[in-house]
Structure 1
């Protein structure tokens, strides 16, 4: 005998329908935010935070200005979010692996991750570099605690490696700056690399591996990594 309550069954079906509808709206909302974020990256990379406009971002995202402001509070808030996302990724990219693996392996992995980020996210790299060149007015408060602490931790690891004879007597913070500068070049000056490399691009897996190998060898040799 069927003892199910028709009212309860109807309520459950209605709840499931509403839940599915909510999940659908959430997915759409997230998808639109992702489109806006990418549009903002392209506009901020091209025009900077001063030259960028919400109209330009809306146009790039395929939205009206009114639609854009439904999803964001302001251009400045969007710029801060883009920078925060970059900072979060830098923390991941520059996270040191287990110190016990040794200088050569850990630094080689670090250089590879940073090079790949430069190849695959050149616009975000340029936004970060441009912000730093402006004196980091927006970035500085974001970097005060977390980024500074992570840099100090990385420097302590490098100092330990030098004391063990795994590296030459380098200034650990300056070494990190040098590593950053060399790898960042492939984001900021991709066209120059493309031109002087005879048209080869980092989209080609062989070219990418060649560049990573050359940069890794140069940096490790310069730091006296055994």
Structure 2
């Protein structure tokens, strides 16, 4: 008696574990490539980075790397797009009705934590801007719209007397500048403060202290009531 042919569903079920395994491995390798690219771009910039250096950092051969990516430039664009997506989340405003102390305080905390946890990504963004944003310039429409909306919210708070009168866009710039310092100049900040380097603040006590100090400073400077 011949064996019954497997149904389509049975064939799919038999193939599913292998397919899932390949998909999981593919995703894992992409994650390794992404982290390697962040480290290389942060230290060398786009011009100084090489696919060989990224491959070495990811534990791949150059040929294996190019199986997963189109080019160094395409990988750099993807890293920048991921950073922009993160910025949109970090700088997202909660309900305007909560008022400036709550909303701006939460914003400052999120931005400070991003600086602590993702300093290399922050530095890639800063370096791109310092070069005149040649790659990222045409990728920032959504970010610009969200920033304009945030500035409009701040203007409304000022009109209601909840904050001192100022240029709302500059208020956002000042928040950015101060919080970004702790990503771009983390070593300098730790050295002059005789504090633990990033990654050594095991209990997070120093992070909490910095967030508290920076938040109070910025809200006071903005004249938040």
Question: TM-score normalized by structure 1?
Answer: 0.94
1:1-226 → structure 2 map (5 Å cutoff): 7=4, 12-143=9-140, 145-202=141-198, 203-204=201-202, 205-226=204-225
- How many pairs were matched up? 220
CA distance in 2, matches of 1:156, 1:130: 28
CA distance in 2, matches of 1:221, 1:94: 20
Q: Deviations over 1:176-200 (max 9, x none)?
A: 1110000000000110111112132
Moved more, 75-84 or 15-24: 15-24
CA distance in 2, matches of 1:175, 1:105: 16
Moved more, 188-197 or 61-70: 188-197
Query: For 1:168, what is the secondary structure of its paired residue?
Result: coil
Query: For 2:133, what is the secondary structure of its paired residue?
Result: coil
Q: Measure how far apart 1:147 and its partner are.
A: 1.1
Asked if 2 retains the 8 angstrom alpha-carbon contact of 1:37 and 1:82, the reply is yes
Q: Which runs of 5+ in 1 are unaligned?
A: 1-5
CA distance in 2, matches of 1:12, 1:159: 59
- Residue equivalent to 1:3: none
Query: For 2:224, what is the secondary structure of its paired residue?
Result: coil
Query: For 1:225, what is the secondary structure of its paired residue?
Result: coil
Q: Measure how far apart 1:23 and its partner are.
A: 1.2
Q: Which runs of 5+ in 2 are unaligned?
A: none
CA RMSD of aligned residues (A): 1.2
CA distance in 2, matches of 1:221, 1:55: 49
Q: Measure how far apart 1:40 and its partner are.
A: 0.1
CA distance in 1, matches of 2:213, 2:166: 20
